Structure 1
Amino acid sequence: MRVGPYESVGRLGAGGMGEVFLATPDAASPGHYEPDALVAVKVIRRDIAGDPAFRARFRREIAVAASVRSPYVARLVGGDAEAAEPWLATEYVAGPNLAEAVRAHGPLPLGAVAALGAGLAHALAAVHAAGALHRDLKPANVLLGADGPKLIDFGVARALGATTMTSTGLLVGTPGFMSPEHVAGGRHVVAASDVFCLASVLAYAASGGDPFGDGPVAAVLYRVSRAEARLDEVPAGLREVLAACLVPEPGDRPAPHEVADRLDALRDVTGAPGWPAPVVAAIEEIRRDTLQLCASGRPLLPLPAAPQATPATPTPTQTPTWTPPGPVAPPVHG
C-alpha cells in the first residue's frame, strides 16, 4: 500500500478514525529497511474524511505537529490533509508507551521518572512556544524510546485560548489525566493545564496507579475538579514537585521550564536516570521484531475490531539505549 511518498511494510494498529501503518520511503529496497528511515503513517478513513469539520481538525493536527521542534516530540515527516484519505507521517519510535511499560514492568524508579518528566516538560515548553496546547497528555501518548521519551498525538491539540468542549458539548481528554479546567467545561484550557496533566502522568509512572483513583467516571472527574490527587505512593523527592503542579488554580502552577529545571536537578542527584533493564529489553525486542517482521511482510500487530468512537491508535517512534542529555534550553518562537 502506498501513502504519499511512503510504501507500507506493515500495519501497526487501527481505531475508529482509521489505521496506522509502518512505512518506508519507496526508494528503499524490499527487505532492507533502515530503522531510522521507518515512519508511522496515520491514514484516515474516507467516510470520516468526508466530514469538513474532521478534515479541518486533521489539518490543524498536521500544522501543530509541524510547528513543534523538540527532541522529546515525535517529529513530523509529512502529511496531506487534502488527500482522499488524509494522512500524517511521524518518525517511528520502537518502544512501548508509558501505559504499556508500567502495566508490564511496574512503576519506574525515581531517576527514570525524573528524567522522563524533564523530557516531557521540555516537550510542553516547545508545544507552548509554538502557540499550541497538547490537551491530551496521558501515559498512552508518551513513548519510551532508546533515546528518551517522545510526546505524540496532537489530534486534539488546539491554539492557546480554545475551549475544552467540542461542538457537541463533549469533553476532550482522558478523565483520569484531565485538569480541573478540562472538567469545568465553560472555562478555557491554558498552558498550565498541560502542566497539571504532566504531573498526573508522572504520578502514574512513579506509583503504577491512577493519581485520581478509579471508579465511575463522574467520581474521577469530581476528584480531578478538586485537584484531589493521591501522591502517598510517590517517592518523597518527586512528591513536592508534583504537588506544586497539581494545585487547583492554573496561575499557581510552575511553568514547564521550571518543572524541567527541578526534575533535571532531581535526576542528577538520583543517579542511573535511564530506563530500567526490563524497559530497555522491551525496547530492543520491539526494535528487533519490527525489522524482522518488516522483512517478512507479515502484519506487525493483529487488528482488533475498531470501535467507531475511538481515535486511531497513537503512532509509535524510533530508538537504542538512552542516557538522558543535560538540560535543554526552552524553545523560542521562530
Structure 2
Amino acid sequence: MTVLEQPGAYRPTPPPGWEPRVDAAPLLPDAEPYRLLGTAAAADISPDLLTRLHRELVRGRRYNTQATALTRQGRLAVYPSSTGQEACQVAAGLVLEDRDWLFPSYRDTLAAVVRGLDPVDALTLLRGDWHSGYDPHIHRVAPLCTPLATQLPHAVGLAHAARLKGDDVVALALVGDGGTSEGDFHEALNFAAVWHAPVVFLVQNNGFAISVPLAKQTAAPSLAHKAVGYGMPGRLVDGNDAAAVHEVLAEAVRRARGGGGPTLVEAVTYRIEAHTNADDATRYRPDSEVEAWRAHDPIALLEEAMRDRHLLDDEGIRAARESAERLAADLRTRMHQDPVLDPMALFEHVYADRTSQLREQAAQLRAELDAEAADAGEGE
C-alpha cells in the first residue's frame, strides 16, 4: 500500500467544494515600483511633509558618513551604513504613531534615530557596549537585530498580542533582501496573515545580501510578490522616492490599524557603501553600477521636486546641512568620550531572580575587583 492509498491520505486534486480563501488579484503588487516625485501626483504632497523628509534625509546622510568615520577611528566595532537607503529609513521612522513599535535590523540605526532615539544610544550596541544601548519599552524600538530576520516573528507576536488586548498598536518590521531568504521571514508572514496581525513588513531591497545578488536568492518577479502566497497585499515602491515610501507605508499602517491585517512592502533601493567596514564591495559589483544609482540619489530627487514647487531654495538647503553638521558634531564629541563600564553589570538583565551560579560568579568577580582596587591603592 502506498502513502496515497492509506485511509485519509491527502489527494493532489481538491474536492469540488474547495475554493481559494483569498482572491489573489487584489494582493498582487504593481508591475513597476510606485513613484510620486516627478509625477503629477507630487503636487498634492504636503509641503510640511516634504520639508521634514528633506531635513531628515540630509541629517541621515551626514549621520551615516560620521558613523562610518567613527568606525575608521576605532570608536565603533562595525557600522553597516544605510547611505543611499535613507529614504526607506526616514519614512519608516516618521510614519508610526508614538504608541506603535519599530522592529529594526542592524542596518536600521537611522530609522531608530528618526523615530527619536538618541544617536549615541543607537550606536551603543555597535561599539560593543551595554546591552542594546537603550530601553526598548520607553522608545517603542526593539533592539537592533543582527541575526537576519529574527525580529520579524517578534514583531508579529507583539502585534498579535496588542490586538488580542484591544490595544491600538501597529508594528513595523524592517528587513533586507537577504533576510527574505531566512525561515523566520516566511514563518512571520504566515503567522501574521493567519492571525490578521496589525504588522507591516518593509523589505529594503538594496540589491545584495553582502555579496550575493538578489537573482541568486529568488526567482520571483519581485519580493513583493511573495506576499500573495501568504494571503496579504504586496506593494512595490521606489525606495529612493521618500514621499512614495512614506505614502505606501502610511497606507499600510492605516490598513493594519483599521483591522485590515498585514502588508508586505518592497522598497527597491541600493546600498551605495560596502556591506560594512569589513567588506570590499569592489570584488562583487562594478563602480559603474554604483555610479548609476548615485544618479538616483534620494536627496537629489527630493530637492529637485521641492525646487520645482518653490518649496526649497539654496538657503533651505544650507539650513538643513547646518542642522546635519550640528548632529554630526555632537555625535563625534560624545562618541569620543570613553564609556564608564561597570563589570558587575554583566549580571544584570540575565534573570529576574539570579540563579545560585550567577550569585556565586558575581561574588567571585566582586572579590577580584575589590582585590585589584586594594592593590592599586597600596601602589599609590
Sort the TM-score into its range (normalised by shorter chain). under 0.3
Query: Which structure has the bigger radius of gyration?
Result: 2
- Per residue, is there more helix in 1 or in 2? 2
